[in-house]
Amino acid sequence: MLEAVIAADERNETAWLWLSGAVETAEERQICLENVLAINPENALAQKGLAKLAQAVPEKAPDVGRVQVVRREYAPLSTASALLYPDDHIKTWEWRDPTAVQAKAPTTGYQARESYQDIWTREVPMCGYCAQELAPADTRCPTCKKNLMVSSFRYPNASSNLTVLWVLLLGVGQLFVLLVLYNILARHNLYTAVASGLVAVFFVLLAAGVHFRQNWAHLAAIYSLVALILGLLLRWALPADLEALGLASLDPAIQDFVMPLTTGLGQTLHVFILAGALLALFYAIFKAGPDFDRVAARQVATLTKGPKTAADFNAAATQLARNGVWATAVLHWQNAAAKAPEHLVYQESLGRAYAQLGFFERSLDVLQGALRRSGSAERQAAIQQQINAVQAKMEPQTQQAK
């Protein structure tokens, strides 16, 4: 029933997802899940399914055509766990050899004619936006006028040191919030409370800036922490003004009890603030600095690091196209179509990208190949509509050539 639904509608995301749970082999399940991601790259269930398939590698290949029970033993965490829970360290599962499944008829994917004499057949640097050939000294595309110099972080993923830094900055801000309450309730000093509140807000903003890896936040954090530490040390070097506590009208016995208590609470908060500031300053100077390093690179069309499967290349190409980086998107859709020639959606996307860049002959070649291989009347109509749109764009160029 699911295959009948897919035969009528090749882009039925739900049908492909359900079919992945009905097939018997990991190979077929991977094809179904990749089809889901080809239709919707954001499908979380398909992403999780492919991740599990990538991890479920059999320990040894079984005999062809047989179902074999695979047994794997794991090292116990301790001697006690090995004695008390022996079964927890042994796992077994059935593994079916995918080569035992009857082979499907091979599908011939689209193969572009190599008679084209354009930039895609030459090993030259080209603009990642419009596929214009670039000279070595070009920092701006001569055709689309886009700035090719892009600044990016040296390390794409933030380190744990950066996380520690913004948590410490946020903690210092929270301690100043407690200091606000102390100044209001114990010292009845509104001006000091307001000043502490402003400092608390400032450190919360610094923590947010550091979290998003802003250079200004990193530098401001270093200078602010140094100023805060010096201010606290200077404050302790001077005698404390106990008159600001506002407890002169109380009974002397109460003063002897309350004043040391409130003063000690304030001192404790300041000690915690100093400790947090020192630790944050250490991470800001010696640990988290590389997270803010940026490098400038020229935006030329090239494959990005990370994609491996056809679905990965398709997802990367879709995002690049949304950002207007069409030439780079073409390279990714070329890889997606080459890795999964049976997925016509990759060829359709490649054809649209070629047309977007003005390579109409290549676009028609790809789309007409997809039209010949499509088995759905609805899909054929949609592809034919795209072909008609490309041919309409070609007419002015054809007439001009004549």
Enter the tokens of residue 219. 């530098």
CB 111 within 8 A of CB 127: no
In a domain, 133, yes or no: no
**Domain annotation covers residue 127:** no
Domain count, the chain: 3
190/253 same-domain check:
yes
**Within a domain: 144:** no
Stretch (H or E) spanning 142 = none
What would the mean pLDDT of 9-20 be, rounded to a whole number?
85
Q: How far apart are CA 34 and CA 310, in angstroms?
A: 7
Return the pLDDT at 223: 96
pLDDT, mean of residues 169-183? 93
Q: Verify that 176 and 273 share a domain, yes or no.
A: yes
Residue 68 has a pLDDT of: 52
Residue 72 lies in a domain: no
Q: Say whether both 214 and 268 belong to one domain.
A: yes
Residue 250 falls within a domain, yes or no? yes
The residue with greater pLDDT, 59 or 30, is: 30
**pLDDT value for 103:** 38
Residue 117 resides in a domain? no
Per residue in 257-311, pLDDT (tens digit) is: 444 444 567 788 888 999 999 999 999 999 999 999 988 878 788 888 888 888 9
Q: Give pLDDT, residue 355.
A: 92
- Residue where a domain terminates, one of 16, 41, 60: 60
- Average per-residue pLDDT for the chain: 79
Q: 319-366 pLDDT, tens per residue?
A: 999 999 999 999 999 999 888 888 888 989 999 999 999 999 899 999
Question: Within this chain, do residues 230 and 345 fall inside the same structural domain, yes or no?
Answer: no
State how far the Cα of 173 lies from the Cα of 169, in Å rounded to an integer: 6
**Pairs from 45-48 (Cβ < 8 Å, separation ≥ 24):** 45/17, 46/17, 46/20, 46/311
List of residues 6+ apart from 202 with CB closer than 8 A: 173, 224
* Length of the chain in terms of residues written: 402
pLDDT given at position 52? 82
- Asked which of 34, 60, 86 is the last residue of a domain, the reply is 60
Q: Does pLDDT of 381 surpass 80?
A: yes
Residues 287 and 246 in one domain: yes
Assess whether pLDDT exceeds 60 at residue 140: yes
The residue out of 229, 264, 292 marking a domain boundary is 292
Nearest to residue 362, comparing CAs of 117, 30, 86, 79? 117
For the chain, what percentages of helix, strand and coil (3-state, to nearest 5) are there? 65, 5, 30
Q: Do residues 215 and 334 both lie within one domain?
A: no
More confident residue, 78 or 316: 316
Over range 75-85, report the average pLDDT. Answer: 55
pLDDT tier, 89 (very low <50, low <70, confident <90, very high otherwise):
low
Highest mean pLDDT, choosing among 29-43, 140-154, 201-215, 365-379: 201-215
Say if residue 170's pLDDT is above 90.
Answer: yes
Split at pLDDT 50, 70, 90, the class of 247 is very low
Give the CATH number for residue 323. Answer: 1.25.40.10
What is the pLDDT at residue 60?
44
Q: Does the residue 87 lie in any domain?
A: no
pLDDT at 242: 45
Angle subtended at Cα 176 by Cα 172 and Cα 181, rounded to the nearest 5 degrees: 150
pLDDT at 136 over 70: yes
Domain coverage including residue 11: 1-60
Whether residues 323 and 389 share a domain: the answer is: yes
Q: What percent of the chain has a predicted confidence (pLDDT) above 90?
A: 31
